[in-house]
Amino acid sequence: MHRQNRPFLALGLRLMAMVMLSALLLLVKLAGERGIALPETMFWRQFIPGCLILAWLGARGELARLKTGRFLVHARRALIGTCGMFLTLGVVLILPLAEATVLSFTTPIFAVLLATLFLGEHVGPWRWGAVLLGLLGVVVIAGPDRGHLPLLGVAAGLGAAFFVALVSIQLRDLGRTEEPIRIVFYFSALGALMLLPGLVLRGSSHDAMSWLLIGGIGLSGLFAQLLMTAALRFGTVSSVIVMDYSQLVWATLWGWLFFAQLPPATTWLGAPFVVVAGLVIAWREQVLHRQPAIDPQTAPNAD
């Protein structure tokens, strides 16, 4: 599959994806406050998109688009993604939305570390400096007030960012041969199968409002995934990642409107460090991507 270079469309798609993702996290937090267990929430988050995609392709007579020769790769991505989803959705039940969102911005930091460990990629002073800057931001955000930001929540937020970075490596590989709707379908369908025991053990009856929240979680998750995946068809990660930070605006707004929560001073002091770290990493990756291939034995350490 070939990427079409349409940067403004890619930015718009990524921005809409962030709106959907922030809405998803808001609905998960509201569902948790109504007593809906996280394992059940996760099941419906996967089951609803899988059914909708299957029904849509079936109605169009396009089920053949789901045919794949890389089922095991999809299964591995679903397993890693489901583990990441447990932390991504779980952290908003522990932390305020804004703080949970800022911690998710550490994903580029983990992406650098994973690229070094598993891909053997050379990382120079620019990106190592960004990693240290981002970690400093996390320390500032955590601050001394453990009542506002418990260490369990910080650990869950950082763990979620790690798994998102791990998934990004999987998606980079799958994107070479698979179209977005196929990737999303297998993640949803296989994830729902993995989460079915959680539904059986923790599922319960719900009123109409709870079912509306569950339906909203499924729909917002579907649109967020499709929009994020589609954005990468028209632009690179480094060119659209700047829109990811708009999610903090929405998370702060939702936290204020629905929970009367505003981030403390430590969050506002630490967040710029994390955001700048992510932008520096994206900038360096874009610069290095544009450079012609050179011999690593003779190349200067310019990264």
pLDDT digits (tens, 9 = 90+) for 113-129: 877 776 667 778 888 88
Q: Give the separation between CA 272 and CA 181, rounded to whole angstroms.
A: 34
Q: Which phi-psi region, left, alpha or beta, contains residue 108 (left: φ > 0; alpha: ψ -120 to 50)? A: alpha
Q: Which residue has the tokens 């079915």?
A: 196
Distance CA 45, CA 48 (A): 6
Per domain, the residue ranges of the chain are 7-290
What does the pLDDT read at residue 37?
A: 92
- The CA distance from 300 to 279, in Å, is 23
Residue 106: how many CA atoms within 13 Å on its side-chain side? 29
- The backbone torsions φ and ψ at residue 35, rounded to the nearest 5 degrees and listed phi first, read 85, 10
Confidence of residue 300 (pLDDT cuts 50, 70, 90): very low
> In this predicted structure, what is the pLDDT of residue 277?
86
CA distance 266 to 272: 11
pLDDT value of residue 8: 82
* Statement: residue 22 has pLDDT above 80: yes
Range 178-192 average pLDDT:
91
Q: How far is CA 8 from CA 4, 18, 231, 232, in A?
A: 12, 15, 10, 12
Task: Give 202: exposed, middle or buried? Use CB within 10 Å, 0-12, 13-18, 19+.
Answer: middle
Contacts with 238 (C-beta within 8 Å, 6 or more apart), sequence order: 282, 283, 285, 286, 289
Determine the Cα–Cα distance for residues 271 and 294; give it in Å rounded to an integer: 36
Mean pLDDT of 138-148: 72
Report the C-alpha gap between 263 and 56 in whole angstroms. Answer: 41
Secondary structure (DSSP) of 21-69: HHHHHHHHHHHHHTT--HHHHHHHHHHHHHHHHHHHHHHTT-GGGG--S
Give pLDDT tens digits for 225-253: 888 877 877 776 666 777 888 888 999 99
Q: Look up residue 293 and give its DSSP letter.
A: P
Name the burial class of residue 234, with classes exposed (0-12), middle (13-18) and buried (19+) by CB atoms within 10 angstroms of its CB. Answer: buried
Whole-number pLDDT of residue 45 = 92
pLDDT tens profile 31-79:
999 999 999 999 999 999 999 999 999 999 999 999 999 999 999 999 9
Q: How confident is the model at residue 4 (pLDDT cuts 50, 70, 90)?
A: low
pTM for this prediction: 0.82
